[in-house]
Amino acid sequence: MLAGMRFGGSEFGGSDLAGLIVAVSFAAGLNVYATVATLGLLAHAGLVDLPSGLHLLTSWWVIAASGVLFGIEFFADKIPAFDLIWNTLHTFVRVPAAALIAYGATSQLSPEKQLLAALAGGAIALAAHGGKTAARVAVTPSPEPVSNFALSAGEDALAVFLTWLATQHPFAASLIVAALLAAIVVVMRWIGRAMTRALKDLFPDVPDESAENEPARSNRRDFNAA
Distance in angstroms (rounded) separating the CA atoms of residues 10 and 78: 42
70, pLDDT greater than 80: yes
4, pLDDT greater than 60: no
The answer to whether 9 touches 52, Cβ cutoff 8 Å, is: no
32, pLDDT greater than 90: yes
| Per-residue confidence (pLDDT) for residue 60, from 0 to 100 | 95
Q: One-letter amino acid identity for 12?
A: F
Question: Distance between alpha carbon 170 and the CA centroid of its chain, in Å?
Answer: 17
User: What does the DSSP 8-state code read for residue 109?
Assistant: S
- Average pLDDT, integer, range 32-43: 96
3-state secondary structure of 180: helix
Global pTM reads 0.80
58, pLDDT greater than 90: yes
- Average pLDDT, integer, range 199-204: 70
First to last CA, the chain: 80
- Residues 91-147 have pLDDT tens digits of 999 999 999 999 999 988 999 999 999 999 999 999 999 988 888 877 777 666 777
User: What does the DSSP 8-state code read for residue 3?
Assistant: T
| Per-residue confidence (pLDDT) for residue 158, from 0 to 100 | 96
15, pLDDT greater than 70: yes
| Per-residue confidence (pLDDT) for residue 101, from 0 to 100 | 96
- Residues 153-196 have pLDDT tens digits of 999 999 999 999 999 999 999 999 999 999 988 887 877 776 67
The length of the chain in residues reads 226
Confidence of residue 198 (pLDDT cuts 50, 70, 90): low
| Per-residue confidence (pLDDT) for residue 215, from 0 to 100 | 58
What Rg, from alpha-carbon coordinates, does the chain have?
22
> What are the angstrom distances between the C-alpha of 54 and each of 8, 71, 90, 98, 107?
10, 23, 21, 12, 9
Nearest to 24 by CA among 183, 187, 168, 184: 168
- Average pLDDT, integer, range 52-80: 92
Distance in angstroms (rounded) separating the CA atoms of residues 67 and 33: 7
> What are the angstrom distances between the C-alpha of 192 and each of 83, 85, 125, 148, 206?
21, 20, 20, 21, 19
Distance in angstroms (rounded) separating the CA atoms of residues 156 and 34: 7
The answer to whether 129 touches 95, Cβ cutoff 8 Å, is: yes
Q: One-letter amino acid identity for 207?
A: P
